[in-house]
Structure 1
Amino acid sequence: MTEYGRGPGSEPWHPQDPLYGDGGWEGQQAYAGHQAAYGGQSQQQYPQQPQQQYGGEWVQGPQPGYDGQQYPYYGDQGHPQYDPQYQGQYPQHPQQPGHPQQPGHHQGGWDATGTHGQVPYAADPGDPYGQQPVAYGAEQPDLYGTEDAYPPPEPPGRRRPEAEPDPEAPADDEEEHAFFAGGGDDDEDGEEHELAGRRERRAGKGRKPVKSKKRRTGCACMVVVLVFGGGLGGVGYYGYKFYQNRFAPAPDYAGDGTGEAVTVEIPKGAGGWDIGRRLKEAGVVKSADAFVHAQGTTPGGDSIQAGAYLLKKEMSAASAVRMMLDPKSQNNVMVRPGERNVAVYQDIDKKLEISAGSTQKVAQKEYRELGMPAWVRSNPEMKDPLEGFLFPGTYPAAKGMKPDAILKQMVAQAKERYAAYGLDAKAKSLGLHDAFELITVASLVQAEGKTHEDFRKMAEVVYNRLKPTNTETNQLLQFDSTYNYVKGTSNIHISEKEINSNQSPYNTYTHKGLPPGPIGNPGEDAIKAALNPTHDGWIYFVATDGTTNTEFAKTYEEFQQLKDKFNANSGN
């Protein structure tokens, strides 16, 4: 490849050279549209420019280009020099008639096509022929249409000599991979060596062989083995766990457990998985899966109720299910519909194995801290402020638990259920003052009614007797249940003398209206009956058989007939 520039035997520079004013690639590109090839004649000739000659010889003085700029010449030391006579002057090409100024050559601006005026490359101080195009007749390669057409040739001043191959350098396919050669981010020496090699190759000095550190190859291979080995081990472990979870039997103990007993509380609504998890945490069963399986294969296993269960540690899942189905293992307190608080307190004392009366003392002292609804009345005449708010149900109660914790569960259940009924709004529609009175009515219905069919009629009796227009009983309820509540009894044979002599506010034979508060804990049926009474005009009732058969009457005469029937059945 011939060097671009002046070659041997080249002619002096001529101002009519098509590359006039630009010795670089940019100049050639600017005239590429006007020339067929280098050395060819352009389609439009430019006027011949005046030549400057000093002493009959061509010199390297400043030459004005089409853009009006002067070109430097170079002195003996290769430094650019300017002729003083051209300092500050920008001679223009004379405009020839019939030859308008070519586009793209006006001074320092953009032409109509948006092309900037060409600026020549700065001359290389080491090149005495910088910024001068080759003269006519010089050998110049035609790069268009050849493999060397792109990238374009650089100006002579920017070229570097081509690097000669180093015979000692190994072939590329023989180079050892950096990973097995011990290369890495922490190999600073190797990095510096590689960077130095790259700089040498760019400078044309070839490449020296890299001395790999063979001792690191073993470490790298070991890392690969450990990584792949660890991955295979993880896959194997999880595969084993998958097989165990899918096909292998769940972990389980054998036998009926050890001699160590433990109490497990099962909340309401807990399913098999939740029960199994709680048993596992207590050390009863080995896995929740085993319990779920045993529960599903044991007859009646799905009937396990909420409550506290006294179980043994390390039982087989099947043994745990059977024991939980046995009522003897259940450590619960059951509040029955209509049951009075005093009976509930006694049951809690027994289950917790504490002294009698302990729970009742806690209720009397801490009832305000047990979560009672805000609408509960604070009446000093009330026998028990918690009466009617220990909602019927089954509650865990095992040794080691505190009485207040059990009472809180009962009160919370009552509060939740009562809120769901919207008692306050319903109470006013029934002629009552508030929800507290409605719970009191429900407790009376629960105490006096014998069967579910009696409840709605009994509720109507209460409302009819409370009416100011009641002339049959003059707003006296006259319920034996309220007197029995005061006395702590359940006697149905009470003399009129005994009743009339008692002046307790709970004695509805002597005091009009409702008692100071509920006389027991009403159940769901009694509450619903109090919210939806009959409207048949019932105002009297008598348990004619003394136990379960309750009959109702609308007039006093009918009532007397029912009373005679009762006396006949009871032997009075």
Structure 2
Amino acid sequence: MTEYGRGPGPEPWHPEDPLYGDGGWGGQQARTGQQSPYGGQPQHYPQQPQQPQYGDWGTGQHPGYGQAQQQYQHPGQQYAGQGQQYGAQQPYDTGGWPTGAQPHLPYPADPTDPYPQQPAAYGGGQPDFYNTPDAYPPPEPPGRRRPEPEPTTDWDPGPDQGEHAFFAGGDDDDDEPGDRRGRGERRGRGGKNKRSRNGCACLVVALVFGGGLAGVTYFGYQFYQDRFGAAPDYAGEGTKEQVTVEIPKGAGGAEIGRRLKAAGVVKSVDAFVAAQSQNPDGQSIQAGAYLLNKQMSAKSAVEMMLDPKSQNNVMVTPGQRNGAVYNAIDEKLGLESGTTKDVAQKQYKSLGLPSWANNGSEIKDPLEGFLFPGTYPAAKGMKPEAVLKEMITQANRQYGQYDLAAKAKALDLENPLQVITVASLVQAEGKTEDDFRKMAEVVYNRLSPDNTETYQLLQFDSTFNYLKGESNINISESEINSNQDPYNTYTQKGLPPGPIGNPGAEALKATLNPTDDGWLYFVATDGRNRTEFARTHDEFLELKAKFNESSGN
């Protein structure tokens, strides 16, 4: 059994042992089965003045190493007593190595040490850095410190250590106090052409700033011109050459400006939009065709479009008959009177009427009821059929919003054409929107087979006036009763063969949504604008007397 602390076959300590100077924890190495590098052999260190050593870690005090701080006992190693040296008096077998306090061997002189043979013990004459940021690693003794190499760079940091001399306002002849390098050294390391470099830097900076300023000025001017400068515009009222420009319904200022510019009337869209906004009536420009001069100023163009003389439009009003519309088209197009009416009678099948229109042989005008109210362009050079097509297209658009076939069936009518016919009656006889719904109910109640008051006779003056081409409210009973025309609702039961005018949107809506109050009679008691309704014949007679009184009959 191996004795505690004795390794098998230990070798004697040698001065070149690599563990020499490792701290001398011989006792611990003995316990682990390793040979202590010190073991009791003489160890020589230069004589050191007594310095404070690391001591009590818990109190922050630093008594000398080996002072009586505590008694540490171990069967194979002992630290005790003031002045007792580390490694002395091993209580166990050391394998024949000398024990006890050993003299220290001096370090050989360092040829690079500027202070040879000086007592420079670790920490000698230096403050204790324990528990401070400088403690790791411990500060090197002053005797072994070497001058720090100066950083080598390929540029001179200048008087402010990194700030260029041009911006610091310095000169290479100015030496800062405490500068490690002399003036000659700085000049010798690149200061020769420093003034010329500063001059180049000034030139480069000036060029950059100058170019940037010029660029900012140019683009700033362009931005101002684009955003705030006056838009390109012509001057004056334009040339003698005229052109017709068509403005669609719902077009705004920008759209109008684009059409005018494309026709050569104005020079830019922005100029027209600005002129329109500056004119108090500029927003009242209507859809239609305008006869304008070329190369007009935007201001003149707006003023001319607001002048009715320049407007080459045909306006269809709600309830207006086709005969009046034909005459207006002829006038605007500069055609002989009757030209448009002749085109309508001959070409009506190719003008875009819906399939359910004109299903009666007694219809006086196939286009009646299909020239929808609105404003339409009609300028010289246009053909009548083009103007009529635009009106019919608008009618199809408006009527197409409703399922007129289903509506006709729900209202006990034969077809969609009868819906438009009722709407034309409502438009002709009613005076207000409130009248329209009541008037529609009067028509449906009189058409009812249960009508024992008029026996399906509508008895509307408007239908007789239509066949006569008149607008007379004073019609004699003998004249009415003697006329057997299909459009005379005093002698012919039911609806007329077709519409008697062009109903507007409000009359059409009222036709599809009549009141349900039992109205059967109506009288324009003031002869023009006031219509009153009655449910019985006696009430009707009272209203008739009121009418006679107001008209002087």
The TM-score bracket by the shorter chain reads 0.5 to 0.7
Q: 1:313 to 1:395 in 2, by over 3 A?
A: same
Does the Cα contact within 8 Å between 1:346 and 1:357 map onto a contact in 2? yes
Does the Cα contact within 8 Å between 1:378 and 1:385 map onto a contact in 2? no
In 2, Cα distance between equivalents of 1:241 and 1:258: 31
Cα offset for 1:382? 0.3
Aligned to 2:499: 518
Cα offset for 1:240? 8.6
Matched, 1:548 2:523: no
Please give the secondary structure, in 2, of the residue aligned with 1:424: helix
In 1, Cα distance between equivalents of 2:475 and 2:291: 44
Cα offset for 1:419? 0.5
Aligned to 1:301: 282
In 2, Cα distance between equivalents of 1:237 and 1:372: 61
Cα offset for 1:539? 0.3
**In the TM superposition, what whole-angstrom CA distance separates every residue of 1:371-409 from its partner, at most 9, and x where no partner exists?**
111221332200000000000000011111100000000
Cα offset for 1:351? 0.4
TM-score (norm 2): 0.59
- The one-letter code sitting in structure 1 at the alignment partner of 2:451 is N
Matched, 1:559 2:540: yes
Matched, 1:350 2:336: no
Aligned to 2:400: 419
Does the Cα contact within 8 Å between 1:337 and 1:522 map onto a contact in 2? yes
In 2, Cα distance between equivalents of 1:392 and 1:384: 17
| Candidates 486, 508, 521, aligned match of 1:527 | 508
Aligned to 2:295: 314
- The one-letter code sitting in structure 1 at the alignment partner of 2:460 is F
Cα offset for 1:238? 9.9
**In the TM superposition, what whole-angstrom CA distance separates every residue of 1:91-131 from its partner, at most 9, and x where no partner exists?**
xxxxxxxxxxxxxxxxxxxxxxxxxxxxxxxxxxxxxxxxx
**In the TM superposition, what whole-angstrom CA distance separates every residue of 1:347-386 from its partner, at most 9, and x where no partner exists?**
0000001000000000001111111112213322000000
Q: Superposed, which structure 2 residues align to 1:50-449 within 5 Å?
A: 244-449=225-430
- The one-letter code sitting in structure 2 at the alignment partner of 1:382 is I
| Candidates 459, 464, 473, aligned match of 1:492 | 473
- The one-letter code sitting in structure 1 at the alignment partner of 2:391 is M
In 2, Cα distance between equivalents of 1:379 and 1:237: 75
Aligned to 1:107: none
Aligned to 1:197: none
Please give the secondary structure, in 1, of the residue aligned with 2:547: helix
Q: 1:309 to 1:238 in 2, by over 3 A?
A: farther
Aligned length: 339
Please give the secondary structure, in 2, of the residue aligned with 1:420: coil
Please give the secondary structure, in 2, of the residue aligned with 1:273: helix
Aligned to 2:551: 570
In 2, Cα distance between equivalents of 1:493 and 1:247: 65
In 1, Cα distance between equivalents of 2:223 and 2:377: 38
Matched, 1:472 2:466: no
Cα offset for 1:452? 2.2
In 2, Cα distance between equivalents of 1:365 and 1:378: 17
Q: 1:536 to 1:401 in 2, by over 3 A?
A: same
Aligned to 1:481: 462
Cα offset for 1:540? 0.6
In 2, Cα distance between equivalents of 1:498 and 1:406: 38
Gaps of 5+ in 1: 1-235
In 2, Cα distance between equivalents of 1:287 and 1:544: 56
Largest Rg, 1 or 2: 2
Cα offset for 1:564? 1.6
Cα offset for 1:312? 1.1
In 2, Cα distance between equivalents of 1:480 and 1:238: 74
Cα offset for 1:340? 0.2
Does the Cα contact within 8 Å between 1:307 and 1:330 map onto a contact in 2? yes
In 2, Cα distance between equivalents of 1:542 and 1:511: 20
In 2, Cα distance between equivalents of 1:543 and 1:304: 36
In 1, Cα distance between equivalents of 2:268 and 2:328: 34
Q: 1:444 to 1:320 in 2, by over 3 A?
A: same
In 2, Cα distance between equivalents of 1:275 and 1:351: 21
Q: Return 292-301 or 514-523, whichever deviates more.
A: 292-301
- The one-letter code sitting in structure 2 at the alignment partner of 1:504 is D
In 2, Cα distance between equivalents of 1:297 and 1:562: 53
In 2, Cα distance between equivalents of 1:279 and 1:285: 6
Please give the secondary structure, in 2, of the residue aligned with 1:309: strand
Does the Cα contact within 8 Å between 1:308 and 1:395 map onto a contact in 2? yes
Aligned to 2:27: none
Q: 1:428 to 1:245 in 2, by over 3 A?
A: same
In 2, Cα distance between equivalents of 1:548 and 1:522: 18
Q: Superposed, which structure 2 residues align to 1:442-457 within 5 Å?
A: 442-457=423-438
Cα offset for 1:532? 0.9
Does the Cα contact within 8 Å between 1:424 and 1:435 map onto a contact in 2? yes
Q: Return 345-354 or 432-441, whichever deviates more.
A: 432-441
**In the TM superposition, what whole-angstrom CA distance separates every residue of 1:157-178 from its partner, at most 9, and x where no partner exists?**
xxxxxxxxxxxxxxxxxxxxxx
In 1, Cα distance between equivalents of 2:263 and 2:348: 32
In 2, Cα distance between equivalents of 1:328 and 1:237: 47
In 1, Cα distance between equivalents of 2:351 and 2:462: 27
